[in-house]
Amino acid sequence: MAGYIVLGIGFGILAKVNGLSVLWVFLMSLFIYAGSMQFVGISLITGGASLITTAITTLLVNARHLFYSISMVDKYRGSGLKKPYLIFGLTDETYSLVCNDDAEEGFDKHKFYFLITILNQSYWVMGSLIGAILGGIITFNTAGIDFAMTALFVTVFVEQWKSTKEHRPALIGLGATGLCLIIFGSENFLIPSMALIAILLTILRPALTKKEAENE
């Protein structure tokens, strides 16, 4: 969770250094609330991208959120008034936390997920604001600060890796995406990667389901 503050600071500094005001940084973190997309958003806005380009880029960069939501349809069922915000706030980080943390029996799990979601956004908004303010006063070289996003995903990847003995899905993610990056190039590889991952997981389903049954 606290990684969000660091990542938010990174975003805030980058946005400010690129000419976006503190108010815009705040509004982006409040309403878009999508880590990697906001980093991309800085270059879209400052580069004067057309609204169509912005819409399509958002669709592609955030397409993985479709999968996040699909995974959460069951978990968020019956969450009532909390549901719209739970859905709005389903970011990479919130998703990985809700995925891995099952609330204890007897505890209101939707309240628990709601707290995770709102805490995450608070950290994110706070970090962004701190970063945007820092961005106006710092004098050191900030080149490379966007590695915070890479570092975040690497730590989640390592945690997931340690949580299971079944590593094929993780390796499929790395392999399929790496392959598609080489074939389709850095502008167009995301959609093919997701398609390939879906196909490979479908092929692997009998094997994984069998393994699950044996372990039970």
Rounded Cα–Cα distance for residues 101 and 95 (Å): 10
Binding-site member from 104, 106, 144, 214 for other proteins (CB under 8 A):
144
Of 104-112, 113-121, 130-138, 154-162, which part binds other proteins (CB under 8 A)?
154-162
Q: Is 154 in the site for other proteins (CB under 8 A)?
A: yes
66 touches other proteins by CB under 8 A = yes
Q: Is 18 within 8 Å of 44 (Cβ atoms)?
A: no
Examine residue 124 and tell whether it contacts other proteins (CB under 8 A). Answer: no
- Among the listed residues 19, 37, 153, the one whose alpha carbon sits nearest the alpha carbon of residue 28: 37
Classify residue 104 by its DSSP letter: P
Question: Within positions 173 to 202, which residues make up the interface with other proteins, using CB under 8 A?
Answer: 173-178, 181, 186, 189-190, 193-194, 197-198, 201-202
Q: Which is nearer to other proteins, 65 or 106 (CB)?
A: 65
Dist. CA 17–CA 175, nearest whole Å:
35
**Nearer to other proteins by C-beta: 106 or 144?**
144
Question: Which residue's CB is nearer to other proteins, number 115 or number 170?
Answer: 170
Q: Using CB under 8 A, which residues numbered 92 to 121 contact other proteins?
A: 92, 95-96, 99
CA distance 168 to 114: 31
Choose between 90 and 106: whose C-beta lies nearer to other proteins. 90
**Using the rule CB under 8 A, which residue among 119, 153, 192, 211 binds other proteins?**
153
Residue 6 is a binding residue for other proteins (CB under 8 A): yes
Q: Which is nearer to other proteins, 81 or 162 (CB)?
A: 162
The tokens for 210 are 């069998």
How far are the Cα atoms of 73, 77, 104, 113, 196 from residue 193, in angstroms, in the given order? 23, 29, 35, 29, 5
Q: Contact between 45 and other proteins (CB under 8 A)?
A: yes
Distance CA 55, CA 205 (A): 34
Distance CA 126, CA 2 (A): 11
Does residue 14 bind other proteins (CB under 8 A)? Answer: no
The two tokens of residue 139 are 């004098």
Residue 147 binds to other proteins (criterion: CB under 8 A): yes
Nearer to other proteins, 87 or 130 (CB): 87
- Copy the structure tokens of residue 120: 């995450």
